[in-house]
Structure 1
Amino acid sequence: MKEIFVDINQLNLHYRQKAVLQDLDWTIRRGDNWLLGGTSGTGKTSLAKAIAGQEKYQGDIKINFDQESALPAQTLFVSSWYQFKNLEGDANFYYQQRYNHKQAKDTLTVQAELLKYGQEQSLDTNEVERLLIALNFTTFKDSQLIELSSGEHKKLQLIKALWLKPQLLIIDQPYTGLDVASRRNLNDLLDEISNQGVNLILISNDDELPVNINRFAIIENGQIHERSSFESTSVVHHKILGVLPAFLTERPVYNTDEIIRMKNVNIRYAEKEVLKNVNWEVRAGEKWLLQGHNGSGKSTLLSLINGDHPQAYANDIHLFGHKRGSGESIWDIKKRIGLISPEFHWYFDSTATVWESIASGFYDSVGLFQQIPYSKKVQLDELIEYFDLKQHKNELLKALPLGKQRLALLARTIIKNPQLLILDEPCQGLDQQQTQHFNQLVNELSNNGMTMIYVGHFETQLPTCIEKRILLENGEVKVVETILESV
């Protein structure tokens, strides 16, 4: 029998006086690589943090590192979120800051961050170049940390972990924000380090896994339950949608059929071209899928639409029938748009309750700073009920499991029944049931004539209402096509 590597006995963990893990026992043997799947909010991340020594717990966790191994006798936990700081050690950033090139200089470059990490861990700097190439990240060496998208930050996290090769590597949501090629290359790299002696624990609901994943488990009622396969960790119970609040069944009021028109749009940072001669038109009521590999320019394109990018004024961009720079303020634009993105989630007000977070969608604010009228309170309560968040409405948003945080922000996105709904990888952090439920909701919303731009890498996680597709490659439009004829 294989040697015991991690031995967990009678583990108990509470979060805000609520029992998350209860008398949990788990034995991990050397050479066993685990997938920890199942429902969002069951305690998977809390367990991972406890094993890595980042969460307080009661009970016993013993890790028997091989002191004769060439691999570091370490446990590395790669979180689903990448927390970085500026040059002065401050982690407080605002959403639009990543598009302001002058203010972005306040953070390290990718290359400087990797050099710093390599020195701290006494790593061979020659080895990291191969990882950068494998994850298609070499062109980001000179990028500031704050300029990176969620997928690019995930790649930086993964490169550090693969470079270190600790004896125990735990990755929370390893495929978040990664394009198809990057996911495939990541799995090859994970198999490679596993063959070199790294034990893996992946927290994921994705079925594209490394070959070396050979054990499967879920957490139910605070305890580990082993399963025989990936499929048995991801049973989806089809949830019946409630009645959509009446205000969301009404067609948005359009004053023009032209929602977006871009003509020869170019975005450049010094010598780096991010968007090149982009031409795109979106008409009222259309449902678009926006795709492209990590770094293709998707986030920048969306920032031009949402009014967050300062270079919008230097380009020929019409939004809702008006040319940017012709008198409309950023708030005139935002009142017509509902937006959710991983980056927006990062920078959202951490002191807001669920109720306040959703209500702020009426005013396009990051947090709620004013009283809302009774009519809006009624809509808010209807939406909270619809999203099954009633029991959490007075809790801090940050206190919820990541999946429920995302659902609350999705509710915020649609609360004003916007003319244009921008869903940038909206299902990051959701389990399979939540993903299916949300896309059912998107399909139902699409019936009211709302215009939509949906960004998603996973073909199996898309709503069926998508009609058109635009594909970016290295900042250029490569494909514009109709994929579903409107009825």
Structure 2
Amino acid sequence: MDSAIRLHNLTVNFDDRFALTDINWTLEPQQHWVITGTNGSGKSALAAVLAGVGKLEKGEVTGLPTSVGLVSFEAQAELIAKELKKDDADIMDVISLGTPVEEMIFDDCADPALARSLVEKFGLTGLLDRAFRKLSTGETRKVMLIRALSSKPDLLILDEPFDGLDANTLAMLQAHLASIIDTTPMVLVLNRFDEMPDFITHVAYMNAGTLPLTTDKQDDTAFNELYQLLHLKTTDLSVPDADASNALPALDPNQPLVKLNAATIKYGDTVIVDALDWTIEPREHWQLSGPNGSGKTGVLSLITGDHPQCYSNDIFVFGFQRGNGESIWQIKQFIGYVSTSLQWEYRVSTSCRNVIISGFYDSIGMYSKSTDNQKKIADQWLALLGMTDRADSPFNKLSYGDQRLLLIARAMVKHPPLLILDEPCLGLDDMNRQLVLALIEKICQGKTTTVLYVNHHAEDQIQGIQHYMALKKNHA
């Protein structure tokens, strides 16, 4: 590969089954990439574009090499399907035996000596006379790897190349790939970070058909954040249980958490929110969006009881009719709240573990002795966040994004019926924004807490949130 490959504003359709959208990506000569992301994110589709697959609908691709070696499950399935079609030959009273392995490997082979060496290393010598379609899935995979490696490609694309290989074969393949890094640029598609070869120089992260993040592997901070993101996205860990000894009072499951009846916020003659009807049922996740000045924070304040006009409105919250004698703390015990202003206030130098534990006491910092069970739950949250190794690190020494993650865990530790996340991504870069959104998705998968996610943009959607309220600015 003598020149860079550039994908500019690229939208590609794959038989209306899947689409990549607005892809911008540059691969320089001598770079070796891993494409990663969750299942269904578009990793294989992006790799396939480099092999000329897909219908280009917008943008452009430049610099694609003429010789590309591709190994993928899709290419493997297509090859086997072609072989099975040869069964149609029995119409002419000919029984097709299929193409033998030797022919599949050595016909049009650019480097027969390398192919023979790899056949021996892969343990396929005794299978050269066998029909390709009679091989096991793993054996078929090995044949495709040999074909690609011995084709002297200008670009080598390997989609999950290590799947199904035994330990010896895996080590042999990784050693061979390492031996050709000076002559052959590579793009690997991997689900697992622990399989990433040492020679990889860059990482591309796919999400829902888009390419939101690319990073140089030598950038330790960015690479560790990406590792943490993939941990959050793919971990089997779920939201830790609450502390049974510190349980919140039970709510009536048949009553809504919040009900606003024609709620209005106005200052003099200026109406900020006009006759808003809104009901939030238990475990019904909502996104509240709208521009600055549309009243998002005011509506939140009506719910939490912090707005002076909450008593002049018809508001029902957690079984309480506003203005009937309830205290603000009777309401707030059922709410977890995270905002940028809270992060500004949380300037103490306590440990990461203690930040989470402080959520049991609704305090900024720790002023009570924690129980063993509270420490255990906090450690479970740290494991979910991929931050176990930072349990005793000072909170104020963490990155802005990691602080935000910990404050969300702090708000969730009691499993409040309602978790309000007020612009939780404000001030975060793309990577930390992805981390926060991944944690919110994880919380939405739980069974106990309703999420109210507040942001500017209605299109910035989170998997698991099914209900949307968009406020409009009612004044100049």
Length-normalised TM-score, structure 1: 0.46
